[in-house]
Amino acid sequence: MLIVLLVVNSFFVHGQNLLVGFSDPDEVITLTSGNYSYDTVFILNNGELNLAGSVNFTVRNLIGVIGTGRLNVENSGFIAKNIFYMADSAEANLTGTVGLSCSIFLTGHSVLNIDSAIVNIQMTYKGQYSWAAAENAGINLSNSKCYLGAGALGGNFVDSSFFHQHKTDYISDILPMTMGIGGNSSLLVDSCSGGMEYVISQGSNVDINATDFIVVWYTFEQGDTVDYSYPPANSSLSGASNITGDYYFADSISGVSGVDFTVHISKSDYIFWGIISKKLSSVTVNNSTLIASGFYFTDTSSSLAKGFFNSQYYEGFTAPFTDRLFQVNNSTVMAWNFYTDDTSRLVIDSSKFGEYVGFGNSVVKVLNSSCDGTGGYFGATGLSQTYVYNSQITRTSGTQQIINFQQYARAWFYRSTITGAMVVNDNAEMYFANCLHDNEPVVNANGYFAEAWIDSITSAFVDSIVLITGKVYGINGLFNTSKINRYRIEYSLPDTSNMILIKDTSATSFNLFNQTLTEWNTHDLLPGEYLIWLTIYVDGNPALSCSRGIYLDKTSYTKDNNHTGKVLIYPNPTGKLLMIKGDDIQAVYIYDGNGRKVLETNGRSTLDLGKLPGGVYFIKVKTARGIFGEKLVLRK
């Protein structure tokens, strides 16, 4: 066995890769001082890397412990970024202060032990990093404190893996973690604090003891039949249960059949109950309080969710789905949640719900609805697509993001209102058309956001020059180079049968905020309703369109200089002073090119227009014989 021992006071290594156990399968490297920074580190075969003392060791991209390799970190400055991967029968032991700003993946009987540690997992959004295990691998976490910043861990433990926690505290601005426990896996939580959320399914075994503030989701799948009442909401925290003794949930209890997971909770307060309902399940909940009830749609299903309302007491309610039975009787549902996967299709219409998350290649349309974030957030991942029309996405409590799109998800929002923080990550894309929002989204990595907006032009005049103003701009992630390089403005009748070009312009890029996009000459148009259309192109491809309605009013002109019973307006054009002559002038109104009234007088014959900017205006003069109008040109 080769042992390399480095004991120096100031030693700095900055390199691409470190391989331990490659050339010599039994290689052992022990570092007790110095500063080390690598892109990747691999511990292979029976190799071993030991870090102790005053070592500062950073892995920027990937650390992999594979085979029967070992990583031992004791009271050193160890930081892993991006990905921490373990496989086969590898083992890692971490103590002291460690930085795990990374996703952790374990498989093949590998084990990660974290004991008596300060664990820094600084995140800026929910689900930024994941912990996941499969094939009998797992994590032991004990006597530690985990600091998660503004984010929350996501992840799954499946295929007989395990996640065991003992005397560990989680410190986060939001609920620190949401973990799926399934596939005959084991979850043990003993004497922990800070808040946790677990989705229980598929043969898993869950044991929670002396731990407060936990959201427990039961997943009911095909063949599961449940007619059940949850423990009462008797805690000091609204909607939560206080378990003073022992609580069990399993297939053996009355009213439950086909369920293959078990749950044991003892001496724990602030337990919240949730349900995930999948296709071909049969679930009836009686006399209970649910923090959330979620529906999971898979395969090629197509469903309509309509008439759901958060924070409502239901004497009797049956969800309107044909592929499952879900009923609540004499129960309160605090949030309704919707989840889509595979190539499923879902329309959410006229509802108030708490969370939507899309996965896979699913497609979701949200119509005339609101999401308040009480069930989590609004977002998607994978290759999913989301379309939102005339809806409100608003964070009603807390500071976490209300919108979160990740991986390759794409989303389009039309005529909707978004209130709260937004984030676009990975390769996701998000587009707003005529939307109101109180924050600009945070766009990370290769993400992209673009917005098109036409100002609300409600009325103007025929035979005028109408200024079309609005916004055309995009926000790039650090590694994204997309640009809005073209926009097109058209008009049509309300039936959109004939689109007529107003302007089509291109440039290297556009970032226009509340600016004039074009001038619309309404000469020879008839009075009536019209639509103005704005289409933006990203990298040469049409990405988003929005429209506004506008009414063009008629005008009356007079060219009779004798003005018998009529009106004379002069000089026109003018630079400042305007004279008005006529019989019984009652009022004078001046409108700008967008139809906004900028001046109003009562019968004056001389007007000072010096404070108005130059441009094309319309003047209306009200007399006892009617209203006379004329185009007015103001030159500066």
Which has more pLDDT, 261 or 575? Answer: 261
Q: Does position 48 have pLDDT exceeding 90, yes or no?
A: yes
Q: Residue 563 — very low, low, confident or very high, per pLDDT cuts 50/70/90?
A: very low
- Which residue, 445, 470, 491, sits at the end of a domain? 445
Query: Looking up tokens 């003392």, which residue turns up?
Result: 53
Alpha helices by DSSP H, listed for 364-506, are none
Q: Does position 10 have pLDDT exceeding 70, yes or no?
A: no
Read off the tokens for 72. Answer: 């031992």
**pLDDT tens-digit profile of 381-396?**
999 999 999 999 998 7
Q: How many CA atoms lie within 13 A of 284 on its CB side?
A: 11
Q: Is the separation of the CB atoms in 400 and 378 below 8 Å?
A: no
- Which residue, 445, 478, 499, sits at the end of a domain? 445
Question: 53: alpha, beta or left, given left = phi > 0 and alpha = psi -120 to 50?
Answer: left
Query: Does 441 lie in the same domain as 460?
Result: no
Residue 12: per-residue pLDDT? 46
Q: Residue 606 — very low, low, confident or very high, per pLDDT cuts 50/70/90?
A: confident
Residue 314 lies in a domain: no
Query: Does 136 lie in the same domain as 54?
Result: yes
Query: Does 574 lie in the same domain as 523?
Result: no
Read off the tokens for 633. Answer: 């040109």
Query: Does 281 lie in the same domain as 361?
Result: no
Q: Does position 414 have pLDDT exceeding 50, yes or no?
A: yes
Q: Is the separation of the CB atoms in 50 and 20 below 8 Å?
A: no
Report the SS3 class of residue 432: strand
Query: Looking up tokens 């044909």, which residue turns up?
Result: 322
Range of the domain at 355: 330-445
Q: Does position 556 have pLDDT exceeding 50, yes or no?
A: no
Q: Residue 524 — very low, low, confident or very high, per pLDDT cuts 50/70/90?
A: confident
Q: Which residues contact 93 (CB under 8 A, 6 or more apart)?
A: 70, 71, 72, 73, 74, 113, 115
Residue 252: per-residue pLDDT? 92
Burial 69-92 (b: 16+ CB within 10 A, else e): bbbbbbbbbbbbbebbbbbbebbb
Q: How many domains does the chain have?
A: 4
Q: What angle do CA 169, 219, 400 make, to 5 degrees?
A: 45
Query: Does 263 lie in the same domain as 147?
Result: yes
Residue 243 lies in a domain: yes
Q: Region 435-440: what's the mean pLDDT?
A: 95
Query: Does 543 lie in the same domain as 585?
Result: no
CB atoms within 10 A of CB 8: 10
Q: Region 228-249: what's the mean pLDDT?
A: 97
Query: Does 179 lie in the same domain as 85?
Result: yes
CB atoms within 10 A of CB 9: 7
**pLDDT tens-digit profile of 190-210?**
999 999 999 999 999 999 999
State how far the Cα of 183 lies from the Cα of 625, in Å rounded to an integer: 85
Q: Which residues contact 321 (CB under 8 A, 6 or more apart)?
A: 295, 303, 305
Residue 14: per-residue pLDDT? 54
Q: Does position 561 have pLDDT exceeding 60, yes or no?
A: no
Strands of the sheet containing 363-367, edge to edge, are 302-306, 345-349, 363-367, 385-389, 410-414, 429-433, 448-454, 465-476, 512-521
Residue 564: per-residue pLDDT? 44
**Secondary structure letter of residue 280 according to DSSP:** T
Which residue type sits at 180? Answer: G
Residue 558: per-residue pLDDT? 43
Q: How many CA atoms lie within 13 A of 68 on its CB side?
A: 5
State how far the Cα of 519 lies from the Cα of 528, in Å rounded to an integer: 19
Q: Region 420-435: what's the mean pLDDT?
A: 96
Query: Does 513 lie in the same domain as 466?
Result: yes
Q: Is the separation of the CB atoms in 520 and 491 below 8 Å?
A: yes
Query: Does 478 lie in the same domain as 437?
Result: no
State how far the Cα of 493 lies from the Cα of 499, in Å rounded to an integer: 8
Q: Does position 16 have pLDDT exceeding 90, yes or no?
A: no
For the chain, give the mean pLDDT: 92
Q: Which residues contact 102 (CB under 8 A, 6 or more apart)?
A: 80, 81, 82, 83, 84, 129
Residue 588 lies in a domain: yes
Residue 582: per-residue pLDDT? 79
Q: How many CA atoms lie within 13 A of 130 on its CB side?
A: 13
CATH code of the domain containing 580:
2.60.40.10
Query: Does 203 lie in the same domain as 123?
Result: yes
Q: Residue 562 — very low, low, confident or very high, per pLDDT cuts 50/70/90?
A: very low
Q: Region 73-96: what's the mean pLDDT?
A: 96
588 bridge partner residues: 601, 621
Q: Does position 459 have pLDDT exceeding 50, yes or no?
A: yes
Give 588-592's long-range contacts (Cβ < 8 A, gap of 24+).
588/619, 588/620, 588/621, 588/622, 589/619, 589/620, 589/621, 589/622, 590/617, 590/618, 590/619, 590/620, 590/632, 591/461, 591/617, 591/618, 591/619, 591/620, 592/467, 592/617
Residue 555: per-residue pLDDT? 62
Residue 392 lies in a domain: yes
**pLDDT tens-digit profile of 134-175?**
999 999 999 999 999 988 999 999 999 999 999 999 999 889
Residue 384 lies in a domain: yes
Residue 378 lies in a domain: yes
Q: Region 85-90: what's the mean pLDDT?
A: 97
Residue 309 lies in a domain: no
Query: Does 44 lie in the same domain as 150?
Result: yes
Q: Does position 615 have pLDDT exceeding 90, yes or no?
A: no
Which residue type sits at 34? Answer: G
Q: Does position 15 have pLDDT exceeding 80, yes or no?
A: no
- How far CA 565 is from CA of 372, 572, 621, 624, in Å, comes to 61, 20, 12, 9
- How far CA 627 is from CA of 148, 240, 464, 496, in Å, comes to 68, 68, 18, 32
Q: Residue 216 — very low, low, confident or very high, per pLDDT cuts 50/70/90?
A: very high
- Which residue, 251, 286, 321, sits at the end of a domain? 286
Q: Residue 566 — very low, low, confident or very high, per pLDDT cuts 50/70/90?
A: low
Which residue type sits at 417? Answer: T
Residue 441 lies in a domain: yes
State how far the Cα of 56 lies from the Cα of 13, in Å rounded to an integer: 10
**pLDDT tens-digit profile of 340-382?**
999 999 999 999 999 999 999 999 999 999 999 999 999 999 9
Query: Does 578 lie in the same domain as 607?
Result: yes
